Chain A
């Protein structure tokens, strides 16, 4: 099969990019003809390792800077209407030049499976990508998290897809209901490998990771961890990541007198090793899609303590078995759950083992064949119907 993945920035960092690169690599390994199409290019090379059989191309090279849209271009777009609603969280990427490049690329497609990977690209593919034989939209966000204009466009245009693929069971139910008649599948992202050293539960380290901004809820985690420090002053919290909230979190650490226990670690090239050293992973997000970093932590046999936020944690974690789920944004409950697992090493060991078992569902060997099957089924269905589109 010929499979094209359209990605906003294949040269960037981030969870979506990583999982799409992993999928592209797996499809290439399975013998398919795979192309990774990056809408923009802001770096010389991809940050995640791309299989040499995967062709990487870019539509708009922004390495020398971003072309500021002319007044004419902006007026022209105002007149014909934005193809990507302004509520798209990545709207700043979709300049008139970028929109034009994407629609031009889509209009040139005559065959193959086209996979688009975020709302803005999905909406463009729904409207302009009819030349592809099969179109699949990946949707990493739950319907309620989209801003109203994006949600409206999703409801209107996603029925043109052969399939919409979501990450969690909750999302599958929601999108199926909203897009009656459209095939909606749940395929979780895969971790890159299960072959990871396990935590030996010897270090007094709780680990968290994510971009330092409101979504990740580190401002909720800090007061919860203050409760841990009151009872277990020799435990550390290490937060990996960078972001705009760093200074504010630093102030909060000072106010809570946590500077001997909580460390903002920044970026690391060896996050795997840091996970292995830890004894608990904590997720304090206000919302998620499917938190891959948590699933990655499970591959190191780390017990999880997490808010039961929409969506993801409840899909993955069985409360009391491989982790502890507490009500979303309940700081006191998060602190109490951390204290409970920290005080009980045998519990952590049991939960860690269960986590390493759960994570098998997210192994590449479990997930990638589901994509292959889906693409084959959709291609066969399309050929049976003689290329007639259902919508």
Chain B
């Protein structure tokens, strides 16, 4: 597998936040993706530590992975949180983002719908979004 190029990342092409899931499609950039065992790994920003992993399907350089939103409300941070999304196998961990096109300020331009997870006395909203660095994160926040 070797050491990945510093600039390798997983480039997003489509995000489908539908039917209680967030489906992400894209391709591995800057690295030969021939390895087995790719997963989409979500890591909570605060508190640091919790991670979730889902199988990713690779076809050549293309990847596809699906995250069920009901998993995303972390007990360590029940009210709100941010998951940073990676594509990983073995020692390799690629940030998932959309950096190869010509659109900057994606957070205001490529906007995705929020989905709702019913919890106790209200709903938790779950929404994928691009960060200021054009990386993919998934936010959740509770609203009574």
By the criterion CB–CB under 8 Å, are B15 and A260 in contact? yes
Q: How far is the CA of A329 from the CA of B79 in the complex (A)?
A: 46
Query: Of all chain A residues, which has the CB nearest B108?
Result: A266
A interface secondary structure, majority: mixed
Taking CB atoms and an 8 Å cut-off, the chain B residues in 82-119 that contact chain A are 102-103, 105, 108-113
CB pair B109–A259 under 8 Å, yes or no, is: no
A264 to B105, CA, bound (A): 11
A250 to B113, CA, bound (A): 9
Known contacts A260-B15, A277-B102: A266-B109 contact under CB 8 Å: yes
B7 CB to closest chain A CB (Å) equals: 23
A274 to B112, CA, bound (A): 23
A250 and B108 CA atoms in complex are apart in Å by: 11
In the bound assembly, the distance between CA atoms of A260 and B16 in angstroms comes to 8
Docked-complex contact A250 and B109, CB < 8 angstroms: no
**A343 interface hit (Cβ, 8 Å):** no
Count A/B pairs, Cβ under 8 Å: 22
Contact B14 A263 (CB under 8 A): no
Chain A residues near B113 (CB-CB < 8 A)? 254, 259
Cβ-based interface call for A265 (8 A): yes
Q: Give the complex CA separation of A226 and B110 in angstroms.
A: 17
B112 near A263 (CB under 8 angstroms)? no
Rounded to whole angstroms, the CA-CA distance of A277 and B112 in the bound complex is 24
Does A260 contact B14, Cβ atoms closer than 8 Å?
A: yes
* B109 and A263 contacting across the interface, CB-CB below 8 Å: yes
Residues of chain B with a CB closer than 8 A to A257's CB? 18
Chain B residues near A277: list those with CB within 8 A. Answer: 102
Closest Cβ of chain B: how far from A209's Cβ, in Å? 14
Q: Which residues of A contact B (CB under 8 A)?
A: 250, 254, 257, 259-260, 263-266, 277
17 chain-A/chain-B pairs, Cβ below 8 angstroms: A250-B111, A254-B113, A257-B18, A259-B15, A259-B110, A259-B112, A259-B113, A260-B14, A260-B15, A260-B16, A263-B103, A263-B110, A264-B109, A265-B103, A265-B109, A266-B108, A266-B109
**Ordered nearest first, which 9 A-B pairs have the shortest CB separation?**
A254-B113, A260-B14, A263-B109, A259-B112, A265-B109, A263-B110, A250-B111, A266-B108, A264-B109
New contact pairs (8) apart from A259-B112, A260-B15, A265-B109, CB-CB < 8 Å: A259-B15, A259-B110, A259-B111, A260-B14, A260-B16, A263-B110, A266-B109, A277-B102
